[in-house]
Amino acid sequence: MRLSLRSKIILTLLPLGLACLAVGGALGYRAGDSALTASVEQRLTAQREVKRQRVDSYIRNQLRLTNALAGVPQFAEASKDLIAALKEMRAAPIDPAREGADRAALESWYEKNLVPKLDKVSAGHAEASKLLPADPTSRQLQADYIARNPNDPGQKSKLDAGPAGDAYDRVHARFHPIIKHFADSVGLYDINLVDPETGDVFYTVAKETDFLSNVNNSPFGRSGFAQIVERALDPRNGGSAVVQDLTPYAPSGFAPQFFTAVPLVADGRTLAVLVAQIDIGALNRLLTDNGNWRESGQGEAGEVVLVGEDRLMRSQSRFMQENPQKLVSDLRANGLPEATVRAIEALNSTILYMPVNTVGVERAFHNESGIARYTDYRGVPVIAAYAPLEVAGLRWAVTAKQDAAEALAPVTNLRRDLLAAAALAAVALTLFALACASVFIRPIRRILAAMASYRDNRGGERVAVTSSDEFGDLEKGYNAMADAIDARDRRIDALSHDRDRLYRSIYPATVAERLQRGVETTAETVSNVTVAVCFVDGLEPPGVQLSAAQARERLNALFDVLLATAKQYGVEPVHSLGESYIVVCGLSSPLLDHADRTLAWARESAAAISRIGADWARTVTLRFGVASGDVDVLVFSTGHTPYDIWGRTLSIARLTAIAASPGSARVDESAHALLTDVEGFQASPPIENAAWGQIASWVRPLSQPLARAAE
């Protein structure tokens, strides 16, 4: 059978084209599958690391806060007076009638408010009479501050003093509003004070049933609360704050509670142990992004889970928050013990009750980090990023997971789309082969393929010149065009690189990035920076008129010193005007210790001025005003200074500098709160200003050394 050349070309090209299509589709699916899976794994890993850093920072901040509370003198004073008042009451004769009334009132309150909560979680029945404090004085105070307290449960802290007017009531009325204010201000659920000698919890803010209990022998004493009191008193901790892992807490109806503790020491004697009860809701909000799972990229079934060494959850399950009935049903279907399911249902919480014995958790507790696929606590296949988390003696595992069906849905869609595309391409290839079976279009196809390399950003490919006719001229013309395009692209890249470098040398990083993207920026607000204004005193001695050359020489020497110390501490000079100098820290790149760096720069600058060596430098002193907060970065039009800073923080820094005395640094309230070393600062009278009102400030001589200078 005689075939035409056209038919031979079609019979040659069509099978080859179909084979290439199949291989390309397979390779494309493999590459797409790998890329999409890698993207899912990278996203889960990023979520895991973000949450791990948040939890680590939260725990450390709580420890720093507890240490700071221990330094508040009112806590030591309250401890001494409350313990003394309690001893005075216990030494007084007991009134049998009142003692009986107190016991009856307490038993009634326990039966109504606490016992039902305990019974819902525990297997047996709690007897109210066995839960009461052992001594009559403790029962009397519990009756006055809890049972007879007119406020609802959860609001008992509103009572400042008991109705009896006893010694304890008078001391409590004096200190309770102060301590409650501390707890409310820093977001603590409760603050407890424990007598280290007797184990009595002689004060609490919340007035739950741990008030006037005893950590050594009461029914509520065998808990994480008692453990952390013991650890806080351990001399091996050096008097620093310690943290206790979450434990079920009976006074809260076996709900999970989280404690930090630190001893209160005065005159070398431990007066009490301060136990701070942390709001676990705040920790859970860090992990759940305030319940905004979808907005944070976790989709419909993603969550971050925190697990303790006992393989129990330390975080609330997303599914317990969104659909508790379905989760409870799934847990029963998966064979979770009924007692555990009842506890989870009663407390509406998976914390400390949901077991998580997954592959990722076990690997995390073997100090491994990575990605794994397994069945989670709901019996659903998931893909998860796992890692260990160790902070302040706590050892947890953190996993960021998502249902495999949802996480890998793009891979399934890719496979379906590729199959559909392959079917359509096979039809198109057949039609294309029939229409284009001509040898004369081969050079055109090669040129088109080379041109596609520009579209795909692979650089311009060159075509071989295969003939000396018009097609050959076309191939030569294309190669010449490709050479010209490549040369133009290299020039454009060089110019773009020079432009970007120029932007970054002139503007702060955030402004430079926006300008590089083509955004017209006139102003940018930058948060978490510290501004310092420095005034130079004594540059021109009294009665001496400096010439312009002398003033220039002295200012150059001073500003060289200020610039050198600014580079040393990562501080950025903004501008100088006359005998003033303005700097900012944390503008171009975020710095956590920008306030410490700025204060260290001020102290080093004052010291460096004294080392200039010139006679005139001996009369020169510096004074600094320091403020922290937000600044506006203003970008000016061509012909002016590229940028300047503006706003409240700059104004307050200038006002505090004006009010500062020579040889001192004066800081505002925001900067003072960020400093890690505030020793030596003295509170100054508020600065009155019509625009900003009263400005609280603290002053410190620059000659006094810092306990820990910024690095």
The model's pLDDT over 248-278, given as tens digits with 9 standing for 90+, comes to 888 887 888 889 999 999 888 999 999 999 8
Does residue 254 form part of some domain?
yes
- Write out the residue range of the structural domain in which residue 91 sits: 71-278
Whether residue 612 is found in the same domain as residue 664: yes
Q: Domain with 535 in it: what CATH number?
A: 3.30.70.1230
Does residue 377 form part of some domain?
no
pTM of the model: 0.56
Whether residue 572 is found in the same domain as residue 473: no
Which of 480, 506, 532 is where one domain is finished?
506
| pLDDT of 504 | 53
CB 239 within 8 A of CB 42: no
Which residue in 624, 577, 574, 578 sits closest to 601, CA to CA? 624
Which residue in 706, 640, 645 sits closest to 676, CA to CA? 706
Return the C-alpha torsion angle 412, 414, 415, 419, nearest 10: 140
Whether residue 483 is found in the same domain as residue 618: no
Does residue 141 form part of some domain?
yes
List the helix and strand counts (H, then E) for the chain. 22, 17
What are the φ and ψ backbone dihedral angles of 377, each rounded to 5 degrees?
A: -65, -15
Which residue in 298, 82, 285 sits closest to 193, CA to CA? 82
Does residue 348 form part of some domain?
no
Q: Which residues contact 609 (CB under 8 A, 6 or more apart)?
A: 558, 561, 617, 620, 621, 622
Whether residue 207 is found in the same domain as residue 110: yes
Does residue 283 form part of some domain?
no
Whether residue 125 is found in the same domain as residue 226: yes
Whether residue 564 is found in the same domain as residue 697: yes
CB 396 within 8 A of CB 314: yes
Whether residue 153 is found in the same domain as residue 256: yes
pLDDT digits (tens, 9 = 90+) for 655-683: 999 999 999 999 999 999 999 988 889 99
Which of 278, 305, 339 is where one domain is finished?
278
Greatest alpha-carbon pair distance for the chain in Å reads: 127
Whether residue 532 is found in the same domain as residue 498: no
Measured distance between the N- and C-terminal CA atoms of the chain, rounded to whole angstroms: 89
Nearest 5°: the CA angle 284, 410, 287 is 5
Report the SS3 class of residue 68. Answer: helix
Whether residue 486 is found in the same domain as residue 525: no
CB 106 within 8 A of CB 143: yes
Whether residue 490 is found in the same domain as residue 545: no
The number of folded domains in the chain is 3
Could you tell me the mean pLDDT of each successive run of 10 residues in the chain, 711 residues long? 58 71 69 78 91 92 93 93 94 89 90 84 76 89 93 91 91 95 91 94 93 82 84 91 89 85 92 92 84 83 91 90 89 88 88 91 94 90 93 92 83 73 73 61 67 63 74 72 72 68 54 58 81 90 79 86 91 84 89 92 90 83 94 65 79 93 93 90 92 92 63 45
| Residue 272 token pair | 């009490």
Does residue 484 form part of some domain?
yes
User: Which residues of 570-611 form beta strands (DSSP E)?
Assistant: 572-577, 580-585
Q: Which residues contact 700 (CB under 8 A, 6 or more apart)?
A: 664, 665, 666, 667, 680, 681, 682
Q: What gap in Å lies between CA 503 and CA 451, rounded to an integer? A: 34
Strand partners, 525: 632
Whether residue 96 is found in the same domain as residue 129: yes
Whether residue 499 is found in the same domain as residue 526: no
Which of 250, 278, 306 is where one domain is finished?
278
Residues shown for the chain: 711
Does residue 106 form part of some domain?
yes
CB 278 within 8 A of CB 189: yes
Q: Domain with 270 in it: what CATH number?
A: 3.30.450.20
Does residue 273 form part of some domain?
yes
Report the SS3 class of residue 201. Answer: strand
| pLDDT of 490 | 73
